[in-house]
Every structure is written in C-alpha cells, then in structure tokens.
Structure 1
Amino acid sequence: MARVAIIGAHGKVGQELMRELYDNGDDFVGVARGEEAAEDIFRLGGEGVTLDLEQTDAATLAAALEGCDAVVFTAGAGANSGVERKRTVDYGAAVLTIAACRAAGIRRYVMISAAGVDDPATATVVPDPQWAAYVAAKRDADAELRASGLDWTILRPTALTSGEGTGLVEIAESVDRSNGSIPRADVAATVIAVLENEGSIGEQWEITGGSTPIAEAVSALV
C-alpha cells in the first residue's frame, strides 16, 4: 500500500485519481484550496489539506506531504484564469512542489502535463494569450522536473474528456494529437500504472485514447 499526495486534488483529474487510489487500496493526501474541497477529499476516502499554492512556501507544503511515498501534480489555474496565474500555478506551484518533495525526502513525482507543449506550433493552435501562457508554463514546469534529480514521470495527455474510462490507451513519446482525446479517468488509471512500474521513472510520454490496456501499454515502454 502506498501513500500518495495529490496536488490539485479537487480538480477533475485529481478527483478521478482519488477514486482510483481508493479502489486500489492506497492511502492519499489531497492538497487543494478551500475548506469545502478538503471535506470533499475526506468523503472520497483521503486526508484533505487546505493550502493555497500561490501563497504558501516549500516548508509548509513539505510538512503537508510528510510520510507520503509519491506526489502527483495535477493542479492548474483553470480556464479564464488569466496569463499571470498560468505562471503562478501551472508553473510556479509545480516548481514549489519539487522543492517541497526535496524538503520532505520524497523522490517520486508524477506530473500531469499536456501533449505537444514542446512544439512551438502548439502555442498558436488557439489564438489566445492565455493558451500560449498555459503551454509555456507546462513546458517550463516539465523542464524543471526533468532537471530536478527526482524520480519523475511526465504524462502528457491529449484533450481531456469527462466520459467513462475505457481502460484502453495509446502511450508513446509522441502521439497523433490532431483529433486525440482521452477520458480523465483513463489518465488517472495511467498514473496508478506508472506508480506501480518503476521502469517508468525518467520517462516522458504523450497519452491518448487507444486500443491497448493501460498496464500493458506502460509495460511495453519500460
């Protein structure tokens, strides 16, 4: 049984991940803003920690993560949050979490990123400064994690949907992003698979809906 911290636990991917961890028999700590979010995390079977990642420091976050075996970063500023908050949350909170992991002695870090963020063309797919800021924040956060010395895995899903999970994915260094999408439930299930497979450490993969069972898709790449 592992104890996993979820940064951004009250987001849509985070909630799916909490369900997966509960079903898998793992303990989890959910870090989110607001007391109501912490109460929801408790109802889903975890320990809720209320922290504003834009206002806290690494030592405070490290104390909340104490005793965890792994951290999953799935926080985001969200749609229409503005260019500045893309930098302070999608990038800044990810870097803060790296520092907190070091302080708490936690080596395992799984990042939920986004497909195509290293491709300069991705930032112009949507003619919106917020989109460009989001792509840059994700790209730079991933680079910080790769250079961190932690035991990292970076998962870069295509467009996220709220449909039922299929348990079937395509995972590769690069996937066809033109019409790709994946249910958030399948992203969450992939997180479980990479946490259970040490061969995924040091790997960065794009992930989309496909035809291969998740654990099999991960095992084929390690």
Structure 2
Amino acid sequence: MRVAVVGGHGQIARLLHPLLVAAGHHPVALVRREEQRTALEAVGAEVRLLDIENDDVAAFARAFEDCDAVVFSAGGGPDGNVTRKQTVDLEGSLKSAAGAAVAGIRRFVQVSAIDVDQPVAPDTGEVWAAYVTAKRDADAALRAGALDWTILRPGRLTDDPATGLVALGADVPRGDVTRADVASVIAAVIDRPESVHHQWNLVGGELPVAAAVARAAAS
C-alpha cells in the first residue's frame, strides 16, 4: 500500500515510516518544509509538500494522488496556541478526510487522544480545552463520514523505547504509551479490514501489538 501520512515529520510519523517500509508499504510523508525532505527520505519515505493550515481540500487530494490509505497524525503541538488546535487538529483532519474522498481513498487511520469525549473539568486550561474539543470534533466528523476509518486514542505519550506491548480497546483506562508503540499499532491496523469502524483507546499493556489488535477487533 502507498500510505499518505499527514503530519509526516511529527514524532509518531517519523517512527511510523520505517515500520511501514518493513511491512512492505510505501510511506508518503506530507510536510510543510522542503528542508525536512532529506531526513525523511533517509528512512524510506517519499516526501510531498502540504501546508495543513493554509492549503485547501483540492490540494490535499492532489497530495494524496496514487495513495491507497491516509494516516492523520498531525497536531498543533504544545505551543500554547489555541488557534492552531482548530486549524491543525480539527480543520486538518476535516480537510484530510475530504481530500481522501476526492482522491478516491477509503482507508483512513486517525491518531486522536484518550477520553476526549469526556467533559473537561471546569478549571481546565484554555489550551487543553481547545485541544480536547478539536480532537473530539474531528473524531465525531470522521465517524459520521463514509470512509473506512479507524480511530486510535493514545494515552499520555512518552519517548521511551518501544515495548511492543499494549492495551487496546474501547474501554481501556487512561495510562501512558510510548510514541513508538503508537506507531507500531498504526502500522498493524493500516491493512487490517477487521479494524475498520473501530475507535480504540491505546495505552501500554501486556499484549503484543498483533494480539492486542486481534482481540480488540473481535470484541
């Protein structure tokens, strides 16, 4: 499969590309800056330029040309910028899904965040509240659409080495998970039809990734 990765220079995406290559796929990293090309090509990704915030749906569709699947793994980052939670985390997802539909792509995997359907506490900071709202609304729009979607909702992300062991499911409680393990789960579900139309929480656990995906899909 040729897999377009929106947010192709993000921390999870950079771990995902070599896993896709190892699985026999062809990652297409969509990034904003040309200077990111060399490092991404070095890990096996094709690089295409896309400005998530300023490009329109037609540009997204062109960036997805000849691809078989889309992974949305972009985020506005921990910069305290409320506006970017809307323009990247929400609108970037909406344009990615719309662009996939225009390009004739059905498979779509979205990286969200755990428990974003739950109300935020009254004392929640403005930036975090905006982030939760953006992720919640992006997930709801994807679920309501016609794509073959899978939504992964990781817990608190860490930069620890991959463990290869996760807990995955609709009701998995909050916990930490390594970015490397999130990348492994994305690579595991991208071509698994039984994962379509599932939304799963994802944290560190006791099951190998393949077994965790199989159990979650069967439940």
Tell me the equivalent position of 1:219.
214
Tell me the equivalent position of 1:28.
27
Tell me the equivalent position of 1:124.
121
The equivalent position to 2:185 in structure 1, one of 167, 172, 190, is 190
Task: Look up the SS of the partner of 2:166 in the other structure.
Answer: strand
Structure-1-length-normalised TM-score: 0.94
Equivalenced residue count is 217
CA distance in 1 between counterparts of 2:130 and 2:152 reads: 19
Map 1:198-217; keep pairs closer than 5 Å: 198-217=193-212
Asked whether the 8 Å contact 1:7–1:30 carries over to 2, the reply is: yes
CA distance in 2 between counterparts of 1:26 and 1:191 reads: 12
The equivalent position to 2:132 in structure 1, one of 132, 135, 153, is 135
Superimposed CA distance per residue, residues 144-202 of structure 1 (whole angstroms, 9 cap, x where no aligned partner): 1001110000000000111111111001102221xx10111111110111113211100
Tell me the equivalent position of 1:102.
101
1:126: how far off? 7.3
CA distance in 2 between counterparts of 1:3 and 1:30 reads: 11
Tell me the equivalent position of 1:148.
145
1:39: how far off? 2.7
Asked whether the 8 Å contact 2:49–2:63 carries over to 1, the reply is: no
Percent identical = 45
Asked whether the 8 Å contact 1:38–1:50 carries over to 2, the reply is: no
Say if 1:43 and 1:147 are closer, same or farther in 2 by CA, change over 3 A: same
Tell me the equivalent position of 1:90.
89
Asked whether the 8 Å contact 1:70–1:108 carries over to 2, the reply is: yes
Q: Does 1:112 align with 2:133?
A: no
CA distance in 1 between counterparts of 2:59 and 2:124 reads: 38
* Paired amino acid for 1:44: V
The equivalent position to 1:167 in structure 2, one of 164, 168, 193, is 164
Asked whether the 8 Å contact 2:97–2:142 carries over to 1, the reply is: yes
Say if 1:190 and 1:92 are closer, same or farther in 2 by CA, change over 3 A: same
* Paired amino acid for 2:89: D
Question: Please, which runs of 5 or more residues in structure 1 have no aligned partner?
Answer: none
Tell me the equivalent position of 2:41.
42
Say if 1:16 and 1:82 are closer, same or farther in 2 by CA, change over 3 A: same
Say if 1:190 and 1:74 are closer, same or farther in 2 by CA, change over 3 A: same
CA distance in 1 between counterparts of 2:213 and 2:21 reads: 21
Question: Please, which runs of 5 or more residues in structure 2 have no aligned partner?
Answer: none
